[in-house]
Structure 1
């Protein structure tokens, strides 16, 4: 915990390592996570569809960040963290001529969540 997933269009080129580092710092500061517990996975999508537009036109790019935390954070803390994520996306993703659809959410991990390390 936290489990962070970044789903994004293939058209987005950005410093993923820098983004993850700053996102981990924000998660530690805002949600009281432990630095060594922050894990981020980037998943690139080769096809991004928007409305009825032809996906090959590449006029739109999408990025969505999901942060899974153990229960116990207030709604205010979760909202503050998602706002911080959006600010980091503004910082790390340049305007490359397409419409960027950026979003973020914080969700609570289910009580069934378990993990192991080797």
Structure 2
């Protein structure tokens, strides 16, 4: 916990510093959710087709979903969402153009969620 997924428009592939943003997301989760650094997991998924509004060519799209265990306040979730949106521009290249961004912080089913380090 947390389990973070970042979907991003394929046109950002060459300009989006995903590793830097992932590390920033993990640091924000540690700071704002009191998460343990080694428990933060962030993955990126490049999406080929996205439509934002009436003109698909106008906006690139980044959607961040953060799954956390129950118990965090609505204020903590909102603070994380705001911090993620504030951090994102630093990791987008200047050639990204307009980017529509969204963040959703939701709760994981703590009774069903499992995580493990395998091998090695």
TM-score by length of 2: 0.87
Distance 1:104 1:85 in 2: 7
Who is 1:101 aligned against?
A: 100
Gaps of 5+ in 1: none
Gaps of 5+ in 2: none
- Please say if residues 48 and 60 of structure 1, whose CA atoms lie closer than 8 Å, have aligned partners that are also in contact: no
Secondary structure, in 3 states, of the residue corresponding to 1:83? helix
TM-score by length of 1: 0.88
Alpha-carbon shift at residue 50 of structure 1 (Å)? 2.6
Secondary structure, in 3 states, of the residue corresponding to 2:52? coil
Secondary structure, in 3 states, of the residue corresponding to 2:65? strand
Alpha-carbon shift at residue 47 of structure 1 (Å)? 1.4
5 Å-filtered alignment, 1:23-38, equals: 23-38=25-40
Secondary structure, in 3 states, of the residue corresponding to 2:11? coil
Matched residue pairs, number? 115
- Please say if residues 28 and 34 of structure 1, whose CA atoms lie closer than 8 Å, have aligned partners that are also in contact: yes
Please list the CA deviations of residues 38-74 of structure 1 after superposition, one character each: whole Å capped at 9, or x if unmatched: 1111000111223343x4xx32211000010111100
Distance 1:70 1:22 in 2: 20
State the Cα RMSD in Å.
Answer: 1.6
